[in-house]
Structure 1
Amino acid sequence: MAIPLPDGTPPRAHEPETWALRALGTASAEASGALARRMRMHPTDLSAMSHVAASDGHLGPRELSTRLGITPAAMTDVVDRLEAAGHLLRERDTADRRRVRLVPTESAATEVRGQLRSLLDRLDALTDDFTDAERDAIHRYLQAATEAYHRFAVDEG
């Protein structure tokens, strides 16, 4: 029996692709936990590194604390740990010297690539079974789904 939503409306049955994407998110979270254990890192530290790596050097500690939902003081502790472990650097922003940017070290990027190589090779191999048109459709869907997640993350209401 389906449980009604908080406003009393019946739940909407979602598309199989939506459920598959949710399952992918769960599997991805499991893989992140495994990567954190393999790298002997706290999951929050690994999550911070993931955000920093994806930001191309445009992320500072304050923005990162907002993304992770932790206080700026706790973020300072995370950044201090990651810097002491040789995983990231604090650099002054060239456009605004008051601003600090967080940048992953090359050794950290190399270690992560090494740990993820088998997974990424498996994912790359999946595309061998699809035509170019199917791959294009999958790519468009995943880009749109990524944008939907980003919108949800910044939507206040």
Structure 2
Amino acid sequence: MAIPPPQGTPRRVHQPETWALRALGAASAEASGALARRMRMHPTDLSAMSHIAASDGRLGPRELSSRLGITPAAMTDVVDRLEAAGHLLRERDTGDRRRVRLVPTESAATEVRGQLRGLLDRLDALTEEFTEGEREAIHRYLQAATEAYHRFATDDG
């Protein structure tokens, strides 16, 4: 949903690619909701698992609670649920034994891959419609857009 600018502010027209990326984000959120339903998970739990899977075992409960915008106590409940369901493991950080790292189980990764196989196959097939040069440009754009989203998420202003 586009947010209108304040009264008297000139309206900036964004590029079609920017709007397409926003639409992709909305479609991705819709797909995440469908995945959560199919896996019989709460959307917050699935979001937590997505962050954990993307972190390569470097994410702890405190960082995860910050990313999800929930309290550490609520995060403990999420982690307990995911651990009880066999979706993740708590492991001691080898560099700092006081620190706990959250790691997805292989069974959880296998289940997610199975649920997403059709979607990922369709996305892979889309790439065949583009030349190698176009694919490189798309890849660069998506990497830069991902970085812009990360900067927005971590920027205080």
The TM-score with structure 2 as length reference comes to 0.96
Question: Distance in 1 between the 2:3 and 2:153 partners?
Answer: 25
Which runs of at least 4 in structure 1 moved beyond 4 Å after TM superposition?
none
* Cα displacement (A) at 1:8: 3.7
Identity value in percent = 88
Question: Distance in 2 between the 1:7 and 1:100 partners?
Answer: 49
Which residue of the partner structure matches residue 78 of structure 1?
78
> Structure 1: which 5+ runs fail to align?
none
Alignment of 1:114-133 (within 5 A): 114-133=114-133
Alignment of 1:44-55 (within 5 A): 44-55=44-55
SS of the residue 2:128 aligns to: helix
> How many residue pairs align between the two structures?
156
Please give the per-residue CA displacement for 1:1-50, whole angstroms capped at 9, x wherever unaligned.
Answer: x9862374222100000000000000000000000000000000000000
CA RMSD of aligned residues (A): 1.4
* Cα displacement (A) at 1:126: 0.2
Which residue of the partner structure matches residue 69 of structure 2?
69
Question: Distance in 1 between the 2:34 and 2:108 partners?
Answer: 16
Question: Distance in 1 between the 2:94 and 2:8 partners?
Answer: 53
Please give the per-residue CA displacement for 1:60-94, whole angstroms capped at 9, x wherever unaligned.
Answer: 00000000000000000000000000000000000
